[in-house]
Structure 1
């Protein structure tokens, strides 16, 4: 049987003439930080002080000895970042130039000093650029010339911290006769029968070349075996009536262990184990009267995708543990998310990421790693791209949560709209990858899943790449130039990116900028705002609805978070109310990789913004919303659940002081997986210019509000409410904050982190009418007083 020696310990990092302790997996920055050589680049303006790290060469060294007794010993790296030369026992055993691949080198008989010498990513990228020629991109960094996490070089939400290191595990594998080189399970369902076709490739030693091998596979109590002589074999298993894997909200997520073993007449040689799920997935791109759709169909069920975009959860991805993946993805699930798109400027995530998605029913849309640039298709990059794609398609295809391969992020759009085409003058730019190489590889290796050429993409060059009527659409004009109400201007077939910025939680800012007098334009706040004119867009977004605060950072901070939550909710409510024309929204973005003002719902320290709580509301199975339409104001009931929704909708025309001016009660039935849109009766419709009236809709504990004018024009009364604290019995770490409203209280928010860095509230923005009460459960706050709670409460009243 194959033996494995993990090489996690005993590594050192050469720093000049010194050897510093090194952690593997890890990277140079984290080792230098642990040794006290550099300051924390996430704090203050330290990012700029450590820029030199990414421009130097570095070496990792370890003494390695082994005595396996096997015919062959391989040195296996699951990830090297990025351009490296490896020597073992004084001889070079190989070199690498791709962060996203695994590497295997024959080191049989070698022992002694193992050294991994990393060239600066900048040096490698410039060397490749000299061969391929220059290409355009959206940032002044050479990320498209090296197969490395593009966002290491900075993004409009991330720092420029160009890493190097052994970022995934490394080991010695000792084996004899043969080993399993590749296992590809093709899982399908036809009627009530599940099928698993397992395609094997083996590698043999010279002495094992002529031996007969036996491969066995087991799943759900079913067995198959095949004896073979060459290097490839196929096993087929059928499972009667397997339990189907469903996205969350549509059913359960049963997983089946699949085991494969390789043996010869002397015994077992190798083994492989993964969990699989039985389900079908299709992408319906059928043309219709509105254009051409983009609808995921799982087990025959058409799905409105409630999605979020995912970026690397740390700019140093080796720090992201399985526990951290589970925490962050559980936060997504808690927000009623059912799809996570892994964005093309990051990484193919660790196995632990996809394991959690399998368990939670989070569908995964996986980009191939190309983003916002023209990518050369010449060598040495083309061979790396193919090897990388083969590696990761085979590695990830067992996961039932993986539902879509996508060729790139915004590159087809960029070619058409960002002035790339004239400058390229016929040079390659990546189209051959997205429309040729990658779909061919997916069809060859993983034909059970759909492939899309890019996002956005309209399906062919017959339409503009970002045409809302065809395929996927990215909506960025609204954030960049318009009010968020303009999300209602169109009904795209699938909104794969849109979003609105806000700063992180106050406790996150205090940790990242500990000595700074915080202001929107204070040095640290500006440094931790990477978007072009980011603060200008934040301020304009606030000013369209509120009086922009002057010298009141706390209120500015609150209002920017309110506008972020309202903006995203406006888009989702509008687009969900037009199902099945629109078949999904994928919010930019779920998470952050450091403390920064950004589009994230969860900030760089893992704290939810109000947007996270708002996603829970607007992504719930059942949603009540008020929508302006050509025919006038409508109320829409979205029922994404599997059962009919029988409910009573109460519509109230209400004055600012809470007085009722009109009331309508309607009994409605909404079919499963459908939307019902009905006109608001004239008798409860506020005048479109009134500053004193608004509309309230209630149904089954759900509420929707319509204010005809912006908050800054509305005649709010000064908010008046009482605050009481009630300890939660049996749990000394939690307290209920009870708020009783005497007036209209709009978008009440308890910023729990102001009570303590670990404090969390169970709800976000809440609007109370006079006489109403809300209960906010706070955990992790310790002992608090009513005065402290009042100081952490904010509302949108502008008086």
Structure 2
């Protein structure tokens, strides 16, 4: 097999569009492949940055534009018996493909690859512009025309009938990244382009068309790999036997694929394998699998025709949905161990997908790991992620919950969409099944819920809406191609229930999404429900200051200024932010204070939910936050903003997901202390409890023996002298055990008698940045150092640190910039919740 990439020398022409700016009609610019039209125009200086200010709205003309990508290249005619294929790993989305003016194919699915046999055009001699030199290579022109995906979707909608959806554009009528059409956290910038690699492949006799290694562990501790191999024969010679070889280290197996067959299964046994574990439960050993395809030996040496490789891990995984006294659990079990899933939902890390590098993915996944997460849910309105994403999750022990790509809409089950859905599902299940990090295939996002509660049934009037995908097609494909991996009908869902059975979002059954908080209720209402597994919940907050001010240049910058509002996509988002503040903190008039208060409230809201869910383990078996990351600079639910900067929420997640957690929770009408031990060792020792004034005067104290078994949660009653304050607005309960701690307040911030300026602070230069030493002269809540206000690269190692009176803490600020140390010791860089209560800006 010879592979030649076709990435250099492309040009992109703006063809047409009803609202196309006059100066862009017919414009031709150099094109990056992989890439997209927006980025090509941006690189040429022909459009403004789509992610800045209100430029998104100014680029709406691109929704209905057509683009042509053209490449002139030299290629020799196929040798005798040689097959030559043009391979696109991904085209976004609706295209016509021509070679030397001859149509060779068309596509309408971003989520799958396409392969075209081009022996004929290459043999015909090219475009008549001469040859490429003395090697016999002819000159050829490859053209890919990208048609408007929006207009394609509108045509199918007219043909198949309208289906309900969460947003205006008919994204459910085309197999394209749904959030490309805009979402409540992302822009409406409908991309087009060659978004994955393109190449020529030359081969003889046969090639490996699909490789599916299915790894498991036997009862004796050996690894067992079924290597499912599908081959494609060239059709240019009589079919003959083929020899397939699979190898892991010194373990090898061979089989002959007869001339009449195109599939084989090779079974490898690897004794005494090391098990792959999720982060926090063990190591992540990976084994290299190599597969070759050759002609059988005989009198001549074997001739290798093709080869492929995968990295695999050995582990078992199930999801326990066995009914119990409460309802139906939803508990991941890896290698026989029940896992509390600590995670976040994952969206594409950039709206312009080709800007996402392996290094960027590694940083983002490391941020998940740094917040003690062990799971990411790849959400169904995005993409099947690149191999880099799953490789990195394999290496770091991040469990991957993978949605099939259906979100918040009714999806037609008729052709041509059904065939595309099946093709993309088969391709991606085959591509991803080797990854030990992948632990669940999920039918889609909120579609079962939408049918039940959002008026879809009446609107559909009997038309198909995707149920056949979720209950029949997708589970059948998973059972056929990846039978060792669990499948869920959707999220949220109640296992084993038809659409008219138990509600898909019932708290006692399966997975649940909690959106009453944020949409309507205060975050304290997280405690109204005890879900079996919460796979979505969250609260909004603005991005880091440096991220915001780099993208939005309103003067003045306010929650209602035009650019800020362009980057707030949630319905009544700012109103919900302020209503969410009101029970807890004053709503500031000053924008600097408003920015800090809404970021703080986001962090507190989500941490409140996590601590509640974790305190109910094992009844509740997972807390997967909406969302880890952003695809552009925006006010959103993300913990890490569109520039990769951690928001206060990220630091709150790091505490709430810590292996050992102390939290005060209500039980039977009284406060109790929940001690959560998500480690492999018993948590024993002594709890130190002190009810004290904000000024540090001890009112009551006690010590309690602590003994929490591994991977469990214990509830400890609080003595009345500690749980009942004399003056709620002036007191705090501080509980400490080893490196775990909680500070429980008896009133909301707006009612507390905070000292408005509780800190003494000093900053000094140290190698790599600055150390900020703070000392609390009175109780100081949620201390934060917003160093990015002074330099874009500046980042503090910690945030939302709470100190009792008399305690001290040191923050490390990493930066290459020279900063004014004094600026690190005062607002707006050094902040506490106290100064919001005091109204200080």
Aligned to 2:114: 103
1:316-395 → structure 2 map (5 Å cutoff) = 316-395=352-431
Map 1:13-162; keep pairs closer than 5 Å. 13-15=12-14, 16-67=25-76, 69=79, 71-109=82-120, 110=122, 111=126, 112-162=140-190
Deviation at 1:438, TM superposition (A): 0.2
Cα 1:213–1:688 change in 2 (3 A) is: farther
Aligned to 1:746: 781
RMSD of Structure 2 on Structure 1 (CA): 1.2
8 Å contact 1:220–1:239 — kept in the other structure?
Answer: no
Deviations 1:555-581 (A, max 9, x none): 111111111111111111011011000
Matched-pair contact (CA < 8 Å) for 1:145–1:381:
yes
**Correspondence list, 1:582-661, <5 A:** 582-661=620-699
The reply on whether 1:684 has 2:722 as its aligned counterpart is yes
| Aligned match of 1:275 | 311
The structure 1 residue matched to 2:799, chosen from 725, 743, 764, is 764
Contact between 2:762 and 2:822, CA under 8 Å: does it hold in 1?
no
**SS at the partner of 2:182?**
strand
Q: CA deviation at 1:689?
A: 7.5
Q: 2:750 is matched with which residue?
A: 712
Secondary structure at the aligned position of 1:76 is classed as: strand
Q: 1:208 to 1:677 in 2, by over 3 A?
A: farther
Would the aligned equivalents of 1:686 and 1:695 in 2 still touch at CA under 8 Å? Answer: no
Query: Does structure 2 retain, via aligned residues, the 8 Å contact 1:601–1:609?
Result: yes
Q: Secondary structure at the match of 1:408?
A: coil
1:410 matches 2:446: yes
Shift of 1:209: 4.1
Is 1:246 matched with 2:281?
no
Partner of 1:794: 831
- Taking the aligned partners of 2:157 and 2:84, their CA distance within structure 1 comes to 36
- Looking at structure 2, the residues matched to 705 and 5 of structure 1 have their Cα atoms a distance apart, in angstroms, of 61
SS in 2 for 1:764: coil
Query: Deviations for 1:449-479, whole angstroms, at most 9, x for unmatched residues?
Result: 0000000001113210100100000000011
- Superposition deviation, residue 656 in structure 1: 2.3
Does structure 1 residue 541 correspond to structure 2 residue 552?
no
Deviation for aligned residue 1:108: 1.3
Question: Residue 63 of structure 1: SS of its match in structure 2?
Answer: strand
Structure 2, unmatched stretches of 5+, are 15-24, 127-139, 297-301
Matched, 1:499 2:538: yes
Structure 1 runs not aligned, ≥5 long: none
Deviation at 1:385, TM superposition (A): 0.2
CA distance in 2, matches of 1:158, 1:117: 26
Separation in structure 2 between the aligned mates of residue 632 and residue 417 of structure 1, nearest angstrom = 35
- Alpha-carbon distance in 2 for matches of 1:55, 1:139: 18
1:479 aligned to 2:518? yes
Deviations 1:257-300 (A, max 9, x none): 00000001450000001100001000100100110000000000
- 1:429–1:209 Cα change, 3 Å: farther
2:291 maps to 1:260? yes
Aligned equivalents of 2:538 and 2:743: distance in 1?
Answer: 21
- The correspondence for 2:555, drawn from 512, 516, 523, is 516
Superimposed CA distance per residue, residues 9-54 of structure 1 (whole angstroms, 9 cap, x where no aligned partner): 1100012433210000000110011111110011010001111112
How far apart are the structure 2 equivalents of 1:208 and 1:776? Answer: 70
* Contact 1:723-1:786 at 8 Å conserved across structures: no
Local SS of the residue matching 1:155? coil
* Structure 1 residue 726, shift from structure 2 partner: 3.2
Moved more, 620-629 or 683-692: 683-692
Provide Cα deviations, 1:146-186, integer angstroms capped at 9, x if missing partner. Answer: 00000000000000000110000000000010000111111
Match for residue 448 of structure 1? 484
The one of 765, 771, 775 equivalent to 2:810 is 775
Structure 1 stretches of at least 4 aligned residues deviating more than 6 Å after TM superposition: none
2:223 paired residue among 194, 201, 219: 194
Distance in structure 2 (CA, Å) of the matches to 1:11 and 1:282: 47
Q: Provide the secondary structure at the position in 1 that maps to 2:793.
A: coil
Partner residue, 1:9: 8
CA contact (8 A) 2:695 2:777 kept: no
Structure 1 SS opposite 2:518: helix
Distance 1:688 1:772 in 2: 23
Q: Separation in 2 of the partners of 1:708 and 1:320? A: 45
The equivalent position to 2:567 in structure 1, one of 528, 533, 554, is 528
Q: For 2:339 and 2:725, how far apart are their aligned partners in 1? A: 37
Q: Deviations over 1:510-562 (max 9, x none)?
A: 10013532111111111110000000000011111111112x11111111111
Deviates more, 1:509-518 or 1:389-398: 509-518
CA distance in structure 1 between the aligned counterparts of 2:672 and 2:758, rounded to whole angstroms = 31
Alpha carbons 1:516, 1:524 under 8 Å: kept: no
For residue 483 of structure 1, report the CA deviation from its aligned partner.
Answer: 1.1
CA distance in 2, matches of 1:772, 1:786: 22
Q: Does 1:214 pair with 2:251?
A: no
CA distance in 2, matches of 1:131, 1:193: 54
Contact 2:694 2:804 in 1 (8 A): no
What residue in structure 1 maps to residue 205 of structure 2?
Answer: 177
Q: 1:685 Cα shift?
A: 1.4
TM-score normalized with structure 1 length: 0.98
CA contact (8 A) 1:719 1:744 kept: no
